[in-house]
Amino acid sequence: MLVAANWKMHGSKAHIHEFVDGLRLVEDVDVVVFPPSVFVQELVQCAPAGLLSGIQDIGIQPQGAHTGEVAAEMVAEVGGTWSIVGHSERRIMQAETDDLVATKASAAFRGGLRPIVCVGETLSEREAGHELAVVERQLAAVLDRVDVNDLAEGAIGYEPVWAIGTGKTATPAQAQEMHAFIRAQIAAESPRAADAIRIVYGGSVKPDNAAELFSEADIDGGLVGGASLKADEFSAIVSAADAVGKG
Ligand code: PEP
């Protein structure tokens, strides 16, 4: 199981120390915290053994004249190990295309980071019955650019846009349907990669709904926004992942 904290543009050095002091890790759940990029190094330096850190987005080049961008190699140099790519806030607010997201997934691997590649449909896409087609298209773009066996070292984050920060969670059945669909798309290229890859759910995951989501067969953990800012709430979600006993 993999449980990740997406802090978005929240946090400070003081918050990192308070969070780390209050966090309860468990042996069988991988935990990654994504603070704002400027704080990755601070988190790496004070993280207890087993707590991983990463960046919420990366540039596609290893270095060069790209003002404001951060390369995966730079994140790796300061001890980060993961990157989110394709979060819906970036797809929408920064107009990131499927191809750019796929290029970022590839850049993450090039620089030594494991990406969590976010996919997910908007409310209007779901209401039009297009959710499977949208996610299929988003994932196909990644599979075009990244070897499926490499991708298996990272993760897919299924985050229905209508469930992010809204308090509306996909039902376990809705999430499971999409996770199984994603796994089948990966299995079509490599059954081994499909078994290995973690497909995590994101969208208003909270301590009181985590257990039932994580109990679904194809849900391998969570990508948590709002509820990841407080160590006690986030720790409860980590324990819920542990309690389902999937290892
Ligand atoms: C997210 O932004 O990745 C997310 C899932 O947010 P929230 O948990 O707040 O819905």
pLDDT band at residue 174, thresholds of 50, 70 and 90? Answer: very high
Q: Is 120 in the pocket of ligand 1 (CB under 6 A)?
A: no
Pocket test for ligand 1, best of 89, 92, 204 (most atoms within 8 A of CB): 204
pLDDT band at residue 165, thresholds of 50, 70 and 90? Answer: confident
Spatial CB neighbours of 172, under 8 Å, sequence gap ≥ 6: 212, 213, 215, 216, 219
Lowest mean pLDDT among 127-141, 161-175, 182-196: 161-175
Average pLDDT over residues 140-168: 96
pLDDT of residue 158: 98
Average pLDDT over residues 154-162: 97
pLDDT of residue 57: 98
Q: What domains sit in the chain, N to C, each tagged with a CATH number?
A: 2-244 (3.20.20.70)
For the chain, strand residue ranges (E) read 2-6, 30-34, 51-55, 82-85, 114-119, 155-158, 198-202, 221-224
Both tokens assigned to 49: 């053994």
Q: Which of 170, 168, 200, 166 is nearest to 183 (CA)?
A: 200
What's the CA gap between 240 and 244, in Å, rounded? 7
Helix (H) / strand (E) containing 211: helix 210-214
- β 2-6/155-158 pair status: unpaired
Averaged pLDDT of the chain? 97
pLDDT band at residue 96, thresholds of 50, 70 and 90? Answer: very high
Q: Is 22 in the pocket of ligand 1 (CB under 6 A)?
A: no
pLDDT band at residue 67, thresholds of 50, 70 and 90? Answer: very high
Report CA(165)–ligand 1 centroid distance (Å). Answer: 5
The predicted-structure confidence for 105-131, as pLDDT tens digits, reads as follows 999 999 999 999 999 999 999 999 999
Q: pTM, whole model, 2 decimals?
A: 0.97
pLDDT of residue 31: 98
Closest CA to ligand 1's atom 7: 225
